[in-house]
Amino acid sequence: MVSPNDPAYPNLPATSWAVLGMLTHSEPLTGYDAKKWADWSIGFFYWSPSISQVYAELKKLESLGLAESRVVTQAGERDRREYAITELGTRAARDWSREAPVEAPVLKHGVMLRLWMGHLNKPEELKAIVRAHIENIEGQRAQAALRAEHSRAEPGWAFPTMSLTWATRYFDAELDLARALLDDIDEAARQLATVKHKDGLGNPVPIEPGRWRAIEDFLED
Amino acid sequence: MVSPNDPAYPNLPATSWAVLGMLTHSEPLTGYDAKKWADWSIGFFYWSPSISQVYAELKKLESLGLAESRVVTQAGERDRREYAITELGTRAARDWSREAPVEAPVLKHGVMLRLWMGHLNKPEELKAIVRAHIENIEGQRAQAALRAEHSRAEPGWAFPTMSLTWATRYFDAELDLARALLDDIDEAARQLATVKHKDGLGNPVPIEPGRWRAIEDFLED
DNA sequence: GTGTACATGTAATCCGTTACATGATTCC
DNA sequence: GGAATCATGTAACGGATTACATGTACAC
């Protein structure tokens, strides 16, 4: 039984909507094409899929009636399976993108995790990690900027272009934050020096920072 | 056979190192405590775990000799299993955080994914999504700032404090970017209007934006 | 002849979640 | 009396990856 407040779109992971979204943008795509486009664009802010997952997602969308496929045979070429969005799929994509609950972005920042346990290593080593991170991000920033430029020239791609522009600015912000960390690391190390001792390996570790249980009341918010 | 270039730490997902990292910071923790601390701090930039995974990770760390546990019985309280890091674990955590390859952060930005397919809906509806997103992030920002403040007062927590400060700035940047989107959406919609037609539902969709395959040479970078 | 791009898929596995099961204590 | 917190775990499942299998065309 469908209540009047049930969503007008099937319950699928955002990843499936990403694939369907690609189909709303273009003429029929093969799995191979979808993988390339996702890497080129969506990968900066949501998803850079494995090729096998793309094929699986397309198959699933078709089984749900949101997409349909046909096999294209051409002389001197391997057969390709081209997927196109259906009317049902277009409506579902539209409804999902308008009505889905707004969820906070999810970040997995491995570099920050390592800095979180920065008391385990010397400041110079931590800063080397951050410098390598900055180089990484500079590369990604340049790539996003170039792609935004290319995308801008493509009629109908105003929103993908906006996303790439956003990604470029996002990397700029990430670079600012990372550069600030270079000083923050020294400051934190100085701070820790006032409470540290030396362990068996001669590296700084904090003295009994106090048990979580004992201080949790203080930390409530 | 171990080659001289093999890493000095076992090959584990970053998540396991996060749990071990908590153990480097404090006296013995229960799974329940670890979950709370992770949510309170690491969740902003890496990981907000399910409680069942925390228990599983701790068990795994113990089986690898990186942590050890004992059951604590207290009158009038349920038994608790407290985990402490071992010497081997401390060395492994130190080596991992210093030597692991620097990987780019992974972002899953559902809101941006929906804007990427913004041609499916009206600009006002897209802006409503962004406004809800801004409210979300303002809340997270406030929380991170408060926690950074609390953390700062705790001796030995200089690096966790630095991470929370970073998270606060990160949310500030995210807010700047989101606010800029409110104008960018109108601009993109105006841009699209020059190439759009009306579909059966009266909503704007782009006309044949050109097939991915046909333009990919142009987009190489 | 070697590598890369095109092209599609299956199988095994991993990481992590949700659902479930259990039970004491404390606060309203 | 009921909800929330403390506290620990198992089982089932889902989302996504890597490894594997296969084969053509084209450039160097």
**Residue % of chain A over a pLDDT of 70:** 85
Whether B118 and B160 share a structural domain = yes
Average pLDDT, chain A: 89
pTM, to two decimals: 0.91
Domain containing B216: what range? 110-220
Lowest mean pLDDT among A195-199, A217-221, B113-117: A195-199
Q: How far apart are CA A192 and CA A185, in angstroms?
A: 10
* Range among A5-19, A88-102, A204-218, B18-32 with highest mean pLDDT value: A88-102
- Residue B189 falls inside a structural domain: yes
Average pLDDT over residues A155-165: 94
Average pLDDT, chain B: 89
Whether A201 and A120 share a structural domain = yes
Whether A116 and A182 share a structural domain = yes
Whether B125 and B167 share a structural domain = yes
Residue B134: what pLDDT? 98
Residue A193: what pLDDT? 85
| Residue B135: pLDDT over 70 | yes
Q: Which long-range contacts (CB under 8 A, 24 or more apart) does A75-83 make?
A: A80/A30, A80/A32, A81/A30, A81/A31, A82/A28, A82/A29, A82/A30, A83/A23, A83/A28, A83/A29, A83/A30, A83/A31, A83/A34, A83/A58
The closest alpha carbon to A18, from A50, A35, A42, belongs to: A42
Whether B116 and B216 share a structural domain = yes
Of B69, B99, B129, which one is at a domain's C-terminal end?
B99
Whether B138 and B87 share a structural domain = no
Q: Which of residues 91-120 of B touch A (CB under 8 A)?
A: 91, 93-94, 96-98, 100, 102-120
- Residue B3 falls inside a structural domain: no
Whether B75 and B177 share a structural domain = no
- Residue A104 falls inside a structural domain: no
Residue A220: what pLDDT? 63
**Which residue's CA shows the smallest distance to C1' of C10?**
A52
- Residue A1 falls inside a structural domain: no
Residue B38: what pLDDT? 96
pLDDT digits (tens, 9 = 90+) for B56-113: 999 999 999 999 999 998 877 788 999 999 999 999 999 999 999 999 999 999 999 9
Structurally, chain A folds into a number of domains equal to 2
Of B71, B99, B127, which one is at a domain's C-terminal end?
B99
A169-206 b/e with 16+ CB inside 10 Å = b?
Answer: bbbbbbbebbeebeebbeebbebbeebbeeeeeebbbb
Whether A83 and A171 share a structural domain = no
| Residue B203: pLDDT over 90 | no
Residue A219: what pLDDT? 62
| Residue B18: pLDDT over 50 | yes
- Residue B1 falls inside a structural domain: no
pLDDT digits (tens, 9 = 90+) for A25-57: 867 899 999 999 999 999 999 999 999 999 999
* Chain A contact present for B51, CB below 8 A: no
Whether B123 and B209 share a structural domain = yes
Q: Between A6 and B215, where is the model more confident?
A: A6
Of A49, A80, A99, which one is at a domain's C-terminal end?
A99
- CATH code where residue A18 lies: 1.10.10.10
List of chain A residues whose C-beta atoms are within 8 Å of the C-beta of residue B12: none
Average pLDDT over residues A113-139: 97
Whether A121 and A85 share a structural domain = no
Q: How far apart are the first and last CA of chain B?
A: 41
Q: How far apart are CA A196 and CA A149, in angstroms?
A: 51
Structure tokens at A103: 């969820």
Query: What is the residue whose two structure tokens read 């956003």?
Result: A166
Average pLDDT over residues B102-130: 97
Residue A3: what pLDDT? 52
Q: How far apart are CA B196 and CA B204, in angstroms?
A: 6
- Residue A9 falls inside a structural domain: no
Whether residue B162 and residue A185 make contact (CB cut-off 8 A), yes or no, is: yes
Whether A123 and A75 share a structural domain = no
CA-to-C1' span, A79 to C8 (A): 9
Q: What is the DSSP letter of B5?
A: T
* Chain B contact present for A141, CB below 8 A: no
Whether B212 and B125 share a structural domain = yes
| Residue B37: pLDDT over 50 | yes
Residue B178: what pLDDT? 98
CA B149 to chain centre: 21
- Residue B2 falls inside a structural domain: no
